[in-house]
Amino acid sequence: MSKVLLGMSGGVDSSVAAALLMRAGYEVIGATLVMHDIHEKDAAAAKTVADALGITHYTVDMRGDFEKYVLSPFVSEYENGRTPNPCVICNGYIKFPGLIRAADSLGCEYIATGHYAAIGNRDGHPVITAATDKAKDQSYFLYMLGKNILSRLLFPLSGMTKPEIRALAEELKLPSASSPDSQDICFIKDISCADFVAGRSKKPPVLGNFVDTDGKVLGKHKGISAYTVGQRKGLGVSSTSPLYVSHIDAESGNVILCRENELYRTKVYAENCSYFAGKLPKEPFEATVSLRYTKKPGRATVTALPDNRVLIEFTEPQRAPAPGQSAVFFDGDDLLGGGIIESSEI
């Protein structure tokens, strides 16, 4: 019987994943990675589920690594006028490597999570593919995972929809059957992202002006960390037509505002890129590219550049690429790779 270490949050998804793995004949061990004080309640909830299923459960304290690789860079990015995606970084640097290390120490051949994604094969390499439930698909957040992790990774929920998972949890009388869905940023609760950054920052806010694309001053803002490219709400600037954040100049402290039609870009540069087969292809390749989790992918040509960067040239202009967010490459349902948005051009 193969042993698998399952990352458990105490929620319905990882709970049903445990039950499905047990049905499939695996010896399941549960583990909750505590990356922030908020997650201590998750560990307690996961232990309750594990006890109900009759499996062993461990808690692994990852707070030091989480602070170093996720929280501190998260604040720093906002301080520098960028919009980070902490889930991507956490998955690539903390969650999955942490599960692999714990699995090795416990003699587990595989790791598993309750993510909505699947594992396939492409050109002889393991590759992440989209889940059946496209509305819940989380493959966008997983592009940093390398072959060493994908070769040992199981996604038990890949072929199920959320209603089916809820129904199975009810049938099995799991303690988590009615638990709410997790929120976007797990370590921020009951406050805004801007307030979280302000509360943790050791630097005074970078103040400056709202200016239009011609350099005309439109008013003062409350600090660059409170804004993101494409934002309209909360600007507090009166205008005859809606204004949006075009880009943020951390050096001058200015936040440049523009009209809706001026947000669109055809060229995007990304850095720190990952590719499912290891190295990026030397020749340009076609892909559909998502610039945010909620954005519909656009057709593009991706060209490798020096220093693990790429140029993404879209067939149709894309709205408001935000530095710090992830540009993620797909071919159909196959996740090819991705990188961190560095800049963009019209």
Closest CA to 36 of 192, 189, 201, 145: 189
Are the beta carbons of 153 and 119 closer than 8 angstroms? yes
Closest CA to 335 of 88, 21, 44: 88
Longest dimension (CA), the chain: 69
Amino acid at 186: C
Are the beta carbons of 169 and 176 closer than 8 angstroms? yes
Closest CA to 70 of 40, 101, 98, 107: 98
- Active-site hit among 186, 193, 258, 273: 186
- Active-site hit among 87, 90, 108, 273: 90
What 3-state class would DSSP assign to 37?
helix
Dig out the tokens for 268 from the structure. 């995007």
Are the beta carbons of 133 and 161 closer than 8 angstroms? yes
Are the beta carbons of 117 and 128 closer than 8 angstroms? yes
Phi, psi of 105 (to 5 degrees): -70, -25
What is d(CA 106, CA 154) in angstroms, rounded to the nearest whole number? 17
- Whether 90 is catalytic: yes
Amino acid at 283: E
What is d(CA 36, CA 291) in angstroms, rounded to the nearest whole number? 27
Active-site residue numbers?
Answer: 90, 186
